[in-house]
Structure 1
Amino acid sequence: MFKCRYPHTSDKNCEDIFLMKLRMIHSHHHHEFQKYHRYFRYFRPAFVLFNILILYLLFSWVGFKGIGLFFAALICIKEIFQFIFLLRLEKRIFAPIEKLKLGLDEIAKGNYNVKVECQTANDLGLLIFSFNEMAQKLYDSEKLQTEYEENRKTLIANISHDLKTPITAIQGYIEALLDRSIKNEGDQDKYLKTIHHNIVYINKLIDDLVLFSKLDMQKLNFSFENVSVRPFMKDFMEEYKFDLEEKNIEFQYGDQLEHYDFVKLDGKRFHQAFNNIISNAVKHGPENNLSIKVTMYRQNQFICLDIEDNGHGIAADKLPFIFDRFYRIDMERKKDYECTGLGLAIAWELIEAHHGEITVSSIEAQSTCFTIMLPVLGDKEGDLTP
């Protein structure tokens, strides 16, 4: 594995530096090779004539004995240089090639989690670096495919459960009504309302599944615009304030921005993500005295929106999973006609499509705070491309 020799430099940056140097060395070696090739082609006859002249002078001045000693010393020097050359050849050529061969054998066996160690800064080093990049991409692709397969199996199991339960209930109530075994009109109305609730739930589940599948396959259309976030959020929060106070829910909104920053967003999709988080707070909050507070502020290059409630909170061991599809904090999967288990997963995907992120913190039995982070464009409108 390539080890960085530069202090205060990440492995990724160090690999980029190493790759850049390899390419520079490759270009340099190519020019040097062309230059030496010309030298050998033009000066080889001169070298031959020079050697003939040296031999003639040796015969003339020292005779056969001196020539023998000269060639003996020359052979010793040649052996020493040959030994050094073979050592360098083994280290710089044969050993890396052997490691590369072993790496290729592992790839052929289906083991993509392999990396060939190499410190040689030549064409072979560049080849091994490219091999490591290829192996890493194959490993990441295989890992992603495995995750997709597991997610697909989980998704099918959850869909089957979430559809079978209301359909079975609808079937039972309809059969009871058709058999006319329910004589009381009040009970009949109760059965019809339950059937209606289950149908509404199925429709919502299907809508969420369609939306989530489009997000998952990156086939959902977005209409991004550069928006001045302060006036946008002011109007946006006025709507929520009216709706929530109609339900006797206390709502507060605070704007702590100092400038009229711009963000790139799709108003419709952002509304869906934000609404899913608010709805989650309403569903799982206390029936009385529920309070929701939204605070907007800037943190480095992000506009942050804290959505805090005074609900029951979330256990620390469950926080890492709340954005998983079909995850419910109530593991017994208590029936909730308004909850499909996809709301927060959809919110995560929608905000991620805005190049933002969602984080969550919670104190059990006290409060939960979701934070939406959107990248700042600046103080004026910029490029409109998504």
Structure 2
Amino acid sequence: MQSQLKKSYKFAIKTSLYITFFLTLFTSVFLFYLNSLNILAIILFAIICYTFSFFVIQYRVERFIYRRIKKIYDDLTLLESTTLRKQPITTDMATLTKQIDQYAKDKKLEIESLKVREEYRKEFIGNVSHELKTPLFTVQGYISTLIDGGINDKKIREKYLERAEKGVERLIYIVKDLDMITKLEVGDLSLNVDVFDIVNLIEGVFDLLEMKAAKKKITLMFDMDYKEPILVYADRERIQQVLSNLIVNSIKYGREKGTTEVSIENLIKNKVIVRVTDNGEGIAKSNIPRLFERFYRVDKSGSRKEGGSGLGLSIVKHIIEAHDEKIYVESEIGVGSEFSFTLEKAK
């Protein structure tokens, strides 16, 4: 605990000087009138007076300020000010003011952060309940109809069971995505990093999504013919998931008879950037900052008709960030969108 008041020395020195000067002058005048003025006695008196005044003032000021500042520290400790508790108690007013200002700023930021988190939590719970409610009520409706007698009609039974199965599949899809994104956020999902050919992986994703693209007459293509393998260092399965999500989105929101183009470019010496570009409907600039949030949908009305859990882009972002890489998005309404992400090149 700090017991010295360094900056108070200046105060004590000046105050002691004023007291000494006054008392010495007063004593000198008094002795002059008594005709017993002694210079050596006056000097000795001044030294004794100054020394005594300095120590009394210094001690008293320190004790006076220390008691009050300790009360401030104690009050702040009740507010769990860990920053202040780690530091020794200072009786320097400038240092104390700085500490209190920093404490106030930290608390303000903490409160603002808690408000944002609370708002996000409310929105997230609302989104989860909404996403789960639709397929749950759908499945419940089909099953209730079957229980009420529809099961006796073979056509209704088969049709409603198929629809109920699709509703359950959608529920499983949402729960799996939620489980994955939770693991990604807490760092629980381990990455199996290895060297692989990104061109070969993209070709495989094209093959998987060819039928889906054909339904909207969308062409999946490279920007050029990649004759040589492009080797990257990443988790092949997770990067396949990233590409699948991005390409599925480009098909989902793409223009009929449009294109989805993938390009791979050297970014810097040890990095490549993979771009997924479409000529679809595009995304408004106001929506882009929230695009990677869980359950955030650009089109609140129509997007659910297209299916999906609403977690795809959020998962994409977390997978890329788990690789310590970056993901970018550029879009213009009526022109199309481009999602791009970086990967480490294999040496």
**Coarse TM-score class (shorter-chain normalised):** 0.5 to 0.7
**Correspondence for 2:240 among 271, 274, 280:** 271
Letter in 2 for 1:108: L
Deviation at 1:325, TM superposition (A): 0.6
Residue of structure 2 equivalent to 1:292: 261
Contact 1:325 1:342 in 2 (8 A): yes
Q: 1:379 to 1:180 in 2, by over 3 A?
A: closer
In structure 2, C-alpha distance between the alignment counterparts of 1:322 and 1:339, rounded to whole Å? 15
Residue of structure 2 equivalent to 1:342: 311
SS in 2 for 1:313: coil
Q: Kindly report which structure 2 residues correspond to 1:242-261, keeping only aligned pairs within 5 A, or say none.
A: 242-246=207-211, 247-248=213-214, 249-254=218-223
Residue identity over aligned pairs, in percent, reads 27
Q: 1:256 to 1:297 in 2, by over 3 A?
A: farther
Residue of structure 2 equivalent to 1:165: 134
Q: 1:272 to 1:173 in 2, by over 3 A?
A: same
Deviation at 1:298, TM superposition (A): 0.7
**Structure 2 length-normalised TM:** 0.66
Residue of structure 1 equivalent to 2:78: 108
In structure 2, C-alpha distance between the alignment counterparts of 1:373 and 1:364, rounded to whole Å? 25
Contact 1:197 1:337 in 2 (8 A): no
Deviation at 1:100, TM superposition (A): 8.7
**Correspondence for 1:316 among 285, 288, 293:** 285
Residue of structure 1 equivalent to 2:205: 240
In structure 1, C-alpha distance between the alignment counterparts of 2:230 and 2:161, rounded to whole Å? 51
In structure 2, C-alpha distance between the alignment counterparts of 1:98 and 1:261, rounded to whole Å? 69
Give unmatched runs, 5+ long, in structure 1: 1-63, 116-122, 381-386
Question: Do structure 1's residue 67 and structure 2's residue 37 form an aligned pair?
Answer: no
In structure 2, C-alpha distance between the alignment counterparts of 1:69 and 1:132, rounded to whole Å? 48
In structure 2, C-alpha distance between the alignment counterparts of 1:372 and 1:319, rounded to whole Å? 16
User: How many residues end up aligned between the 2 structures?
Assistant: 300
Deviation at 1:183, TM superposition (A): 8.7
Which stretches of structure 1, 4 residues or more, deviate above 4 A after TM superposition?
Answer: 72-79, 93-104, 112-115, 123-150, 181-190, 254-257, 259-264, 299-302
Q: Could you report, residue by residue, the CA deviation over 1:199-232 in whole angstroms, capped at 9, with x for unpaired residues?
A: 221111111111112222322222233x3xxx62
In structure 1, C-alpha distance between the alignment counterparts of 2:303 and 2:38, rounded to whole Å? 105
CA RMSD of superposed structures (Å): 4.8
Contact 2:192 2:235 in 1 (8 A): yes
SS in 2 for 1:295: strand
Give unmatched runs, 5+ long, in structure 2: 1-36, 85-91
Contact 1:106 1:114 in 2 (8 A): no
Contact 2:197 2:230 in 1 (8 A): no
Q: 1:345 to 1:76 in 2, by over 3 A?
A: same
Question: Do structure 1's residue 306 and structure 2's residue 275 form an aligned pair?
Answer: yes
Contact 1:163 1:202 in 2 (8 A): yes
**Structure 1 length-normalised TM:** 0.61
Question: Do structure 1's residue 371 and structure 2's residue 344 form an aligned pair?
Answer: no
Letter in 2 for 1:207: K
Residue of structure 1 equivalent to 2:29: none
In structure 1, C-alpha distance between the alignment counterparts of 2:199 and 2:139, rounded to whole Å? 43
Q: Could you report, residue by residue, the CA deviation over 1:118-142 in whole angstroms, capped at 9, with x for unpaired residues?
A: xxxxx99999999988887777666
